Amino acid sequence: MFEPHGPKRLSDIVTGLHKTRATTQSLRDLGIQDLPHPAYSPNLAPCDFWLFPILKDRLAGRKFDRIQDLTETVNSELRTIPEEDF
Same domain, 7 and 33: yes
Confidence class of residue 13 from pLDDT cuts 50, 70 and 90?
very low
CA atoms within 13 A on the CB side of 59: 18
Same domain, 29 and 51: no
d(CA 35, CA 43): 19
pLDDT tens per residue across span 38-83: 666 666 566 677 888 889 999 999 999 999 999 999 999 999 988 8
d(CA 82, CA 18): 43
Same domain, 50 and 74: yes
Same domain, 56 and 28: no
Same domain, 56 and 24: no
**What's the whole-model pTM score?**
0.46
Count how many domains the chain has: 2
Amino acid in the structure at residue 76: S
- In contact, 11 and 37? CB cutoff 8 Å: no
Range of the domain at 5: 1-37
The pLDDT of residue 9: 55
The pLDDT of residue 39: 65
